[in-house]
Structure 1
Amino acid sequence: MTDVAPSPTAAELDAISVQQLRAAGGVKWTAYPGTIGAFVAEMDFGFPPRVAEVLEAALRSRSLGYLPPVEHRALQEATVAWVDRTSGWRVPADRVHPVPDVLTALRETIRRFTAPGSAVIVPTPAYMPFLTVPGAADREVVQVPSRVDADGRYTLDLGAVDAAFAAGAGLLVLCNPWNPVGRVLTREELLAVADVVERHGGRVFADEIHAPLVLDDVPHVPYASLDARTAGHTVTALAASKGWNVPGLKCAQMILSGDADAAAFAPYAADLATTVGLLGARAATTVYTDDGGWLAGVVDYLRGSRDQLEALVAEHLPGAVLSRLEGTYIAWLDCRGLGLPGPAAAFFRREAGVGLTDGNACGAGGEGFIRMVMATPRPILRRAVEQMGAAVARLRTTAG
């Protein structure tokens, strides 16, 4: 591998302009023309130079075929090495199954590892498709609103999860780091979840796609790594797409840590692997092995952006409550104290020119909130919050 430039500097990231982002043509910056895009969970920072090398090598070799067995194995080995290196969880390489994305892993989990017709428990606020994918598989979604304190810190309502399992639900969707509220669940919290799940013979789908993006000192603990119980009842989904900003390459990893699950899934594994793109697999293998320091630099930038966002909200949106981001780059903002007319996201898109996700889309308990992707250059982040604050100020002036 050739030498590449280190992670981009803060000055280089700050210099990325709105015009450049719109010209790139992604949905985040074109769906709502003329607005600042903050509703799609991707970063505005490009991707690692070593991923660029992978793509350029494919162009030179005219290599866009299917994923060969040797590269399939390389992806499996790189995945387990990265997981071991970052969390201490050791998984056999043959338990890693490439899939196009995390939602494919969820569909496979529902199809292969839950009883027909059993309901799926989704703690809310939740990543929006977790509320719709089970329904498309003819499964009821049991929304369990989570607990939140005055500072905007969320915890799971395990009593309600327990009741949902007792009523016949079969699967809990556990997102950690938690999109959209920014929590990184502790080992103690996860062990408490395991007690509930095991008491009912339930299953867990652990979405850990944001594991590379932990912003504080609280470590990410893979749920399945806790003990033999969680290894046996969990399907884990990972991907390089969020941490290294390559969602368009469509390659995630489904880890089957239970012996029975691995044996049951074996007849289907080869067919599923053919759905993964060659370039996505090569990119994931590369960054899991050595990304040249890109992720570390970007996470450091995100920490600074998180702190900037807290200050901006306090200055320009007094009355709003921002949940502390422990992980992910997704901010969750309680706008109920702003006195907005109608859904918050619609107000800010119309009056402030900022495209956001409305909290209603994230399930029960999301009314009056917005989900904001803060992984953008800091000058753009500042501009977005200033425009939102100005829109609220105009509203208050009019109302007064």
Structure 2
Amino acid sequence: MIRDFTDDEARRALVLKWGMAAADEIPAWVAEMDYALAPPVAEALADAVALGMTGYPPFETGGELGKAYAGFAARHYDQDVDPGQVLPVVDVTAGVRFALDVLSDEGPMVMPGPAYSPQLEVAQVTGRERVDLLLDPDADRAEIDLDHLDRLFADGARTLLLTQPHNPWGRVFTRAELEGIRDVVVRHGARVISDEIHAPLVLPGAEHVSYLAIDGTADHAVAVVASSKAFNTAGLRCAQIITTDPATRDRLVNVPMVRNDSWSTLGVVAAVAAYNHGDPWLAALVQRLDEQRSLLASLLAEHLPQARMRPLEATYLVWLDLRAYGHDEAAQLIRDRGRVWLFDGSDYQAGLAGHVRLNIATSPERLTEIVHRMAAALAS
């Protein structure tokens, strides 16, 4: 059910990821998949364009989109979502900014890091300071340090941006971990914005629990979700803010329209099709990514045995520690010598040496060639 793009198809379809790469490069950097669109999504979009649905979307909460997401959340996460508490936004990062701007008290925002690089300045653009809660690169397990989080809130931080599943850690936080975070947040009267865009991409062995599904979070939290990462439709511009508290929803709805960038009609069409009809394709995708995860582990063991791969519990984005190979700027070296384009770890945490993020959402053949090229580059 998952159809791999050829190189030529990928260059035409993925105009950022592949279109910006040189002809001899394999791009494995930005979070797009080298797979053709899910047929239900492609068919819904083709029908919508044929009908001329290229105008403004309806400005409403709930509606067809809210019902579609509520059904998806019930099936996949056993989560009860009120369709009327689903608010469209243009994309997840804009949704995070919007929620931070409208809902959060003035004061610093806590960013666990290494962190998704486009969000590293989201606090600053709302006039807030960012304070980092950094993962020890030598830690056995990537997790939120609750004592450190408590100190940051005690020092004046007011909001936690929680990315879960986490990019680039690859972690799925457990219910117990989320309850621990809640307890710290409640103790300080703070707020949580939970970026859950990767929730549909939890791999076998882990289970997604929305932060909003934890008791005692309704009055201080929102989740920001989208179908775009799982169904490869980021360019269609439609995400959703989920609330479980009507007063919180009303605060988001009752601001001037200009504070919430307009989402796309075609983005709504794609999201509704994905949520309502995409389950079989999504199941096939998760199976493929699970296979890619296993393939990468075996390839690293054979060709890059000193590479440290953090356990990948969700997403198709692998966080690799290559410091053992002695190159601080590993991503640049691999691109220069191996012609593989990865994201450098310093994009996710300033000054972090020897780490890269690798996108494995490609064919097994390409992934094999990527690792072969990486190994040759690091050995030369």
- C-alpha displacement at 1:67, in angstroms? 1.7
CA contact (8 A) 2:330 2:344 kept: yes
Per the alignment, do residues 27 and 212 of structure 1 end up closer, same or farther by CA in structure 2, a change over 3 Å counting?
Answer: same
- After TM superposition, give the deviation of residue 127 of structure 1 in Å: 0.6
Q: Which residue is equivalent to 1:31?
A: 20
Alignment TM-score, normalising by the size of structure 1: 0.90
Matches within 5 A, 1:254-293: 254-268=241-255, 275-291=262-278, 293=280
Asked if the contact 1:122/1:141 (under 8 Å) is kept, the reply is yes
Match of 2:285 in 1: 298
User: Distance between the aligned counterparts of 1:70 and 1:32, measured in 2?
Assistant: 39
Deviation at 1:147, TM superposition (A): 4.4
Is the 8 Å Cα contact of residues 173 and 208 (structure 2) preserved in structure 1? yes
> d(CA) in 1 for partners of 2:60 and 2:179?
37
Whether the 8 Å contact between 2:170 and 2:310 is mirrored in structure 1 is yes
1:1-400 to structure 2, matched below 5 A, reads: 7-8=1-2, 12-13=3-4, 16-33=5-22, 34-68=24-58, 73-116=63-106, 118-147=107-136, 153-227=141-215, 229-268=216-255, 275-291=262-278, 293-340=280-327, 342-363=328-349, 366-394=352-380
Note the alpha carbon deviations across 1:305-337, whole angstroms, 9 max, x for none: 000011111111121100111101100000111
User: C-alpha separation between the residues in 2 aligned to 1:140 and 1:278?
Assistant: 34
Aligned to 1:4: none
SS at match of 2:208: coil
1:380 Cα deviation after fit: 0.5
Provide structure 2 residue ranges, at least 5 long, that are not aligned to the other structure. Answer: none
RMSD value over aligned CA atoms? 1.9
For 1:100 and 1:246, the matched residues in 2 are separated by 12
What TM-score comes out, normalization by structure 2 length? 0.95
CA drift of 1:207 comes to 0.5
SS at match of 2:269: helix
Offset, 1:270: 6.4
**Contact 1:99 1:272 (8 Å CA) reproduced:** no
Identity of aligned residues (%): 39
Question: CA distance change for structure 1 residues 375 and 269 in 2, over 3 Å: closer, same or farther?
Answer: farther
Q: Distance in 1 between matches of 2:162 and 2:181?
A: 9
Question: Is the CA contact 2:90–2:261 (under 8 Å) kept in the aligned structure 1?
Answer: no
How big is each residue's C-alpha offset from its partner over 1:373-394, in whole Å with a ceiling of 9 and x where there is no partner? 1111111111011001011222
Separation in 1, partners of 2:142, 2:166: 10
Structure 1 counterpart of 2:58, one-letter code: P
Kept in 2, the 8 Å contact 1:182–1:330? The answer is: yes
Per-residue CA deviations over 1:335-394 (Å, capped at 9, x if unaligned) read: 111111x41111111111111111111126843210111111111111011001011222
Amino acid at match of 1:303: D
Q: Residues 56, 72 of structure 1: CA spacing in aligned structure 2 closer, same or farther, 3 A cutoff?
A: farther
Residues in 2 aligned to 1:365 and 1:194: alpha-carbon distance in whole angstroms: 30
Note the C-alpha offset of 1:273. 7.1
Contact 1:99 1:254 in 2 (8 A): yes
Structure 1: runs of 5 or more not aligned: 1-6, 395-400
Q: Could you give the per-residue CA deviations for residues 184-227 of structure 1, whole angstroms, max 9, x where no partner exists?
A: 11001111111111110010010000000011232100011111
Shift of 1:150: 5.9
Q: Deviations over 1:218-245 (max 9, x none)?
A: 2100011111x21221110000001111
Q: Work out whether residues 98 and 273 of structure 1, in 8 Å CA contact, stay in contact via their aligned partners in 2.
A: no
1:238-287: CA deviations, max 9, x gaps?
Answer: 00001111111110001122233123223138667771111110111111
